């Protein structure tokens, strides 16, 4: 194989390696993004739990208050039944009656709280179903990503070995020069490029001189503008 074709193959392998590394590096971020959507829904569920607890406590407290008021009223009624004094009797009955409005108010508050409890329970159920199906999907997505990561990493040694074998056949100076240019352009783009049909550099697209073109025609030329290697 001539120098140009060997270098082109080395470049292909370098690009493959860069792509593998780029994709591998992006996997932890992808996993994090998946998990963070789950965290948001989980915390919404926990919020609902806290709301439910509060609403249930309000129900219980109101119930307790209602019982207390009813007992107090009953006590007053007993007192009124026991009194021999008419004025005291009237006073006690009136006092007992004031409890009715308070009990009514509390009972309607109690019903409102009960509605709230039911409403929160409904919301919880919807969210729980959502979470359940989401969890299944996320588990699968994470598994897929892990497998992809594993496969990507597993393909690296082979690529590297192939590259090392080819690199041995190229003179050191040329190889180092190529590696330097490849790295300086970010390592994700080909730097050994063909001259375009309108005689421009395939990397920076600058119009080339006749001299540049004729040197590239002999094998490997160089773009004086961007440093890319040129071939016909
Ligand atoms: Zn160029």
To the question of pTM greater than 0.85 for the whole model, the response is: no
Domains present along the chain, CATH in parentheses: 16-169 (1.10.287)
- Output the CA 224–ligand 1 centroid distance in Å: 7
Per-residue pLDDT of the chain (232 residues; tens, 9 = 90+): 799 999 999 999 999 999 999 999 999 999 999 889 888 889 999 999 999 999 999 999 999 999 999 999 999 999 999 999 999 999 999 999 999 999 999 999 999 999 999 999 999 999 999 999 989 999 999 999 999 999 999 999 999 999 999 999 999 999 999 999 999 999 999 999 999 999 999 999 999 988 888 877 777 899 989 999 999 8
Angle 39-151-33 from CA coordinates, rounded to 5°:
15
- Output the CA 22–ligand 1 centroid distance in Å: 25
- Output the CA 61–ligand 1 centroid distance in Å: 80
Closest to 17 in 3D by CA, of 5, 28, 25: 25
Contact call for residues 4 and 218 (beta carbons, < 8 A): no
Closest to 99 in 3D by CA, of 76, 132, 129: 76
- Output the CA 196–ligand 1 centroid distance in Å: 11
């Amino acid at each position: 194989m001539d120098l140009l074709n060997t270098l082109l193959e080395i470049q292909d392998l370098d690009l493959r390696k860069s792509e593998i590394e780029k994709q591998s590096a992006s996997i932890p971020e992808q996993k994090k993004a998946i998990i963070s959507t789950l965290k948001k829904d989980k915390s919404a569920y926990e919020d609902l739990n806290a709301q439910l607890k509060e609403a249930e406590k309000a129900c219980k407290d109101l119930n307790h208050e209602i019982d207390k008021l009813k007992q107090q009223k009953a006590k007053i009624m007993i007192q009124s039944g026991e009194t021999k004094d008419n004025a005291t009797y009237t006073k006690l009955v009136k006092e007992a009656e004031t409890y009715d409005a308070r009990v009514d108010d509390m009972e309607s508050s109690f019903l409102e709280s009960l509605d709230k409890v039911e409403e929160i329970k409904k919301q919880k159920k919807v969210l729980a179903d959502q979470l359940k199906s989401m969890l299944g999907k996320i588990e699968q997505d994470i598994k897929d990503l892990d497998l992809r990561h594993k496969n990507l990493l597993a393909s690296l040694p082979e690529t590297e070995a192939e590259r090392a074998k080819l690199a041995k056949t190229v003179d050191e100076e040329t190889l180092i020069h190529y590696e330097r240019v490849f790295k300086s352009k970010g390592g994700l783009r080909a730097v050994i490029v063909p001259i375009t049909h309108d005689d421009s550099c395939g990397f920076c697209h600058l119009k080339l001189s006749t001299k540049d073109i004729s040197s590239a025609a002999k094998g490997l030329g160089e773009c004086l503008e961007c440093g890319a290697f040129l071939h016909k």
